[in-house]
Amino acid sequence: MPFTHDSLAQRVILGSGQASAALAAEIERLGGRRVMVIAGEHEAALADQVVADQSVELRWGEVRQHVPLELAQRARAAATEAGIDLVVSVGGGSTTGLAKAVAMEVDVTIIAVPTTYAGSEATNVWGLTEDGTKTTGADPRVLPTTVIYDAGLTTSLPVDLTVASGLNGLAHCVDSLWAPRADPINLAMALEGARALALGLPAVVADPQDLVGREQCLYGAYLSAVAFASAGSGMHHKICHVLGGAYDLPHAPTHAVVLPYVLAHNAAAVPTEAGRLALALGATPTQVEADPAQAAVDALEELRVALDAPRRLAEVGLAEGDLPDAVQRSLPKIPESNPVPVTEASLTGLLRSAWAGDKPTLHRHP
């Protein structure tokens, strides 16, 4: 039980249909005078709606995944030239990421209005890509001061992206079970986040306009990211980081595919946490009592099938010939905190199964 836990200070507002009013109140509260709005191509109409009543100094519409450094530098220069003191980001993790890249170098406050379940808004982690290599780091300046969640802004997110993004959130929860700074506080958030996502995602797949289900997903995504920011990157995130950076695979679908295999790799070594995760994902107490690790793997698999989530790395763009290279790149990155040793053979097996889409099988550890 002994722990040292840091909590990040941030105001979080959730209210469907409330984003515009909440934004006006927050800009007033924070004393923002010269506002920059960042929203990508598919998010521009949502941003128009949210900032309609604001005086906006600068609109920025160019957003790319993994934040190329050259793009960040142009956005920073534009913000500096326009004397911006407050940035409003309306969009997914890529858009939030660009706002963070601006805040690294320009003295601005960020208000994040997320429209996916990536969770970047709740972390102090930035990412930048240069010459195909993605670098990440933590910096208190990039943490949004306020997050405004409005489920009405997420109903336009296509169902396949909703599922992949929601499972990206769930991956934050699962990886928090064994990440380097895992503690009882971030475990509690991770488990409640998993419960909310497992409740919300099937409701949204059944009816993409269901605001109650979308609110559950946003709530779960927020908790998942708070847990992740606190616990740090575990085995799952290290693998996905390599796959995204080296082969330019899409972020959320890659997480959705890899997660069940990492859980199957680690669950038997953390039976208590696995049992609690299984319950959060909807397993029965009898199933958990019989075999907590198997119950967790089965519950995730059931959810994955119900959501028709992406299954194979082959389908998200990884070539079979890249598997040995992916193993070599990932192996040195696996944190020492991982509850079981990861070997070249076990990682090869994991990635090959994820590439082919085999049914995840629980690893029993001696």
User: Looking at 101, 125, 204, 354, which residue binds ligand NAD (CB under 6 A)?
Assistant: 125
Residue 255 burial (C-beta neighbours within 10 Å; 0-12, 13-18, 19+): buried
Query: Across 92-139, where does the E strand assignment appear?
Result: 109-114, 125-130, 133-138
What is the separation of C-alpha 284 from the centre of its chain, rounded to a whole number of angstroms?
27
Segment contacting ligand NAD by CB under 6 A, of 28-36, 90-98, 203-211, 260-268 = 90-98
Q: Which of 22, 86, 97, 307 binds ligand NAD (CB under 6 A)?
A: 97
What letter would DSSP give residue 32? -
Q: How far apart are CA 127 and CA 163, in angstroms?
A: 23
Cα–Cα nearest to 111, from 92, 141, 89, 137: 89
Nearest approach, Cβ of 268 to ligand NAD (angstroms)? 28
Task: List CB contacts of 13: < 8 A, sequence separation 6 or more.
Answer: 22, 26, 146, 147, 148, 149
Segment 182 to 201, residues that bind ligand NAD, using CB under 6 A: none
- 118 in contact with ligand NAD (CB under 6 A): yes
Size of the site for ligand NAD (CB under 6 A): 29
Taking the CA atoms of the chain, what radius of gyration do you get in angstroms?
A: 20
Nearer to ligand NAD, 76 or 251 (CB): 251
* Least gap, CB of 329 to ligand NAD (angstroms): 17
What does the block give as tokens for 47?
């941003």
Are the CB atoms for 194 and 177 separated by under 8 Å? Answer: no
Q: What tokens appear for 271 in the block? A: 């039976």
List 27, 35, 47, 66, residue binding ligand NAD (CB under 6 A): 66
What is the per-residue DSSP string for 262-291? HHHHHGGG-HHHHHHHHHHTT--HHHHHH-
What is the x/- site pattern for ligand NAD, positions 35-64, by CB under 6 A?
A: -----x-xx--x------------------
* Residue from 89, 120, 230, 233 in contact with ligand NAD (CB under 6 A): 120
Distance CA 360, CA 212 (A): 31
Nearer to ligand NAD, 164 or 295 (CB): 164
Three-state DSSP state, 232 = coil
Q: Residue 29 CB: number of other CB atoms within 10 A?
A: 11
Q: Which residue is nearest to ligand NAD (CB)?
A: 93
Query: Binding of ligand NAD at residue 115 (CB under 6 A)?
Result: yes
Site for ligand NAD in 144-163 (CB under 6 A): 153-154, 156-157, 161
Among 86-94, 282-290, 294-302, 351-359, the segment contacting ligand NAD (CB under 6 A): 86-94
Site string for ligand NAD, 289-328 (x = CB under 6 A): ----------------------------------------
Residue 124: CB minimum distance to ligand NAD, A: 8
> Which residues 6+ apart lie within 8 Å of 291 measured at CB?
none
- Residue 156 is inside which H or E element, if any? none
92, 165 Cβ separation under 8 angstroms: yes
Binding mask 239-278 for ligand NAD (x = CB under 6 A): ------------xx--------------------------
- 282 is a site residue for ligand NAD (CB under 6 A): no
Contact between 169 and ligand NAD by CB under 6 A: the answer reads no
Helix H or strand E segment including 217: helix 211-231
- Choose one: 118-126, 194-202, 311-319, 334-342; the region binding ligand NAD (CB under 6 A): 118-126
Is residue 144 within 8 A of residue 112, CB to CB? The reply is yes
Nearer to ligand NAD, 34 or 42 (CB): 42
Establish if 104 lies at the interface with ligand NAD (CB under 6 A): no
Q: Measured from the CB atom, is 165 or 176 closer to ligand NAD?
A: 165
**Is the CB of residue 170 less than 8 Å from the CB of residue 197?**
yes
Query: Where does this chain bind ligand NAD (CB under 6 A)?
Result: 40, 42-43, 46, 65-66, 91-95, 97, 115-116, 118-120, 123, 125, 127, 153-154, 156-157, 161, 165, 168, 251-252
